[in-house]
Amino acid sequence: MKQKFIPLENFHLYSDKKMIEQSKSFVNLVSNRRSIRTFSSQPIPLEVIENAVKAAGTSPSGANMQPWFFAIVKDPEIKKAIRIEAEKEEKEFYTKRAPDEWLKTLKKFGTNDEKPFLEKAPYLIVVFERKFDKSAEGKTIKHYYTKESVGIATGILITALHHSGVATLTHTPSPMNFLNQILDRPANEKPFMIIVAGIPEKTTTVPNIARKKLEEIALIY
Ligand SMILES: Cc1cc2nc3c(=O)[nH]c(=O)nc-3n(C[C@H](O)[C@H](O)[C@H](O)COP(=O)(O)O)c2cc1C
């Protein structure tokens, strides 16, 4: 019979010095991550993407329900279909739906309704949030804290890709239900985000924006 509890393995007890070193080197690593919007078509190994998804799958989740699904898209025809539908939604957003205040905020990113990167980047990872599961008998299995869980998993995914030398863009055309049709995903899965993954175009520029300082985002109590 499967044991209910097993000894914790692989926890590394570091010295304070080593802990500080590790924490500093991680801050350096993630500080260099930027969202990019111009991707080259340079291919990257599928194994790298699969490993990043494996890493995302280690995320903590409410009651260990692991309420995520990652559609890894490399097929040019599927990428094209996603681009066409995303651009339709984005056109609606930029020309009709977006309130002026939102458009003003977006100005510094130079974004518009054209999303060529959806076809050009070698991979789109479409992250789905599984709202519930069904047992073999058709009974509904409830999921808990799905948004929080999938958010953490997506953070790990982005960080794992960055760690492997793959640049990303978090893309959220709204609404995104067209992704269920294109990718043939069931109704209990809600599109959460598209993570565009690849190598930056040589001429890539990024918005000159600042990150808040530690004192602005944390207080020691
Ligand atoms: C939930 C979420 C949704 C986002 N959606 C879009 C998007 O649809 N299009 C886009 O160009 N950038 C999008 N971004 C990227 C942000 O604009 C970007 O992360 C932010 O400006 C900070 O820049 P950095 O990622 O380079 O640090 C999104 C980011 C997040 C976290």
What separation in angstroms does the CA of 120 have from each of 40, 59, 75, 149?
7, 29, 11, 30
DSSP state letters, 8-69:
--------HHHHHHHHHHHHHHHHT--B-S-B------HHHHHHHHHHHTTS--GGG---EE
Phi, psi of 4 (to 5 degrees): -70, -40
Evaluate whether residue 211 is within a structural domain: no
Using a 6 Å cutoff on CB, does residue 205 contact ligand 1?
no
Atom of ligand 1 nearest to the CA of 172: 8
Evaluate whether residue 19 is within a structural domain: no
- Is the bond into 175 cis (omega within 30 degrees of 0)? yes
Q: Tens digits of per-residue pLDDT, 191-211? A: 999 999 999 999 999 999 999
Q: What pLDDT is attached to residue 49?
A: 98
Evaluate whether residue 216 is within a structural domain: no
Evaluate whether residue 176 is within a structural domain: yes
With a CB cutoff of 8 Å and minimum separation 6, the contacts of 193 are: 126, 127, 154, 170, 171, 172
d(CA 37, CA 110): 10
Total structural domains in the chain? 1
Using a 6 Å cutoff on CB, does residue 109 contact ligand 1?
yes
Q: Which of 91, 111, 129, 172 to mutate to test the pocket of ligand 1 (most atoms within 8 A of CB)?
A: 172
- Collapse the DSSP code of 215 into the 3-class scheme (helix H, G, I; strand E, B; otherwise coil) and give the result: helix
Q: Which domain holds residue 183?
A: 35-200
Q: How far is the CA of 77 from the centre of ligand 1 (A)?
A: 25
Evaluate whether residue 16 is within a structural domain: no
Q: How far is the CA of 15 from the centre of ligand 1 (A)?
A: 36
Q: How far is the CA of 171 from the centre of ligand 1 (A)?
A: 7
Evaluate whether residue 166 is within a structural domain: yes
Share of the chain above pLDDT 90, in %: 88
Q: What pLDDT is attached to residue 1?
A: 80
As a whole number, mean pLDDT of residues 173-198 equals 97
